Amino acid sequence: MSYIIAPSILSADFANLQRDCEMINNSSADWFHVDIMDGMFVPNISFGFPVLKAIHKYAKKPLDVHLMIVDPDRYAQQFKDAGATTLTVHYEACNHLHRSIQNIKNLGMKAGVAINPHTSANLLEDVIKDIDLICVMSVNPGFGGQKFIENTYSKIKQLNELKKKHNSNALIEIDGGVDLNNYKKLIECGANVLVAGNTVFASSNPTDTIQQLKTL
Ligand code: DX5
Ligand code: ZN
């Protein structure tokens, strides 16, 4: 079973960003997960374009950019210019989600939609065919190092049913609280991408931890 590991830069050492990017480059990780927070959609501010561009300068793997911002359409072009491969917007932050998705794809990026823990998987029914990635929030967004929400397992199963029904190829990504105790179960339930911040960067050997997360 092949799946993607995306270490989350939010937990990296920002004073040693180049070093941490190179660690990911030289590890068995597949993507860089990059969290953008605006202090409005979520109660935290992470970083913006200058930092994203600095990551892009050193990253040799795709940038999976997760926008936790209100009205994300305003910045889609700038995220493309800053190096985003996949651009994920929140279901809860878009009044015209279909338009936002088309806009991202027209700019030449892969389009993702994230759903908060309280948002039902079924609400993606009318767009699941159009998107490349579904980001299932397994914590309330805003911070790294939070506790995994158990309801996520059944959400993954529901999303896989929905994908089958609509013949969708969207990857199912799990974001928040992924660790060495739950990653196998998440893959067994049908997840395709695992984001890991704290589990990777707070470990004594991040490269080894990534390798462990890649091994079933
Ligand atoms: C949370 C972010 C996550 C976060 C995950 O709002 O979207 O990507 O970095 O961090 P961990 O793996 O530490 O829960
Ligand atoms: Zn994220």
pLDDT digits (tens, 9 = 90+) for 96-120: 999 999 999 999 999 999 999 999 9
Q: Which is nearest to 192 in space by CA: 160, 149, 145, 167?
A: 160
* Residue 10 alpha carbon, nearest atom of ligand 1: 9
User: Which one of the ligands is nearest to 86 CA?
Assistant: 2
CA distance linking residue 143 with residue 134, whole number of Å:
19
* Protein residue with least CA distance to atom 1, ligand 1: 141
> pLDDT tens digits, residue range 128-186?
999 999 999 999 999 999 999 999 999 999 999 999 999 999 999 999 999 999 999 99
pLDDT digits (tens, 9 = 90+) for 54-96: 999 999 999 999 999 999 999 999 999 999 999 999 999 999 9
Query: Domains along the chain?
Result: 4-213 (3.20.20.70)
Rounded to an integer, the average pLDDT of 15-41 is: 98
Could you give the CA distance from residue 109 to residue 177 in angstroms, rounded to a whole number? 27
Tell me which residues are annotated as active site: 35, 175
Whether residue 25 is predicted with pLDDT greater than 90 in this model: the reply is yes
For residue 28 the two structure tokens come to: 């068995």
- Ligand 2: distance of its center to the CA of 210 in Å? 17
pTM greater than 0.85 (yes/no) = yes
DSSP assignment letter at 38: B
* pLDDT computed for residue 207 by the predictor: 98
Give distance in angstroms: CA of 66 to centre of ligand 1.
10
Residue 1 pLDDT: 78
128: helix, coil or strand? Answer: coil
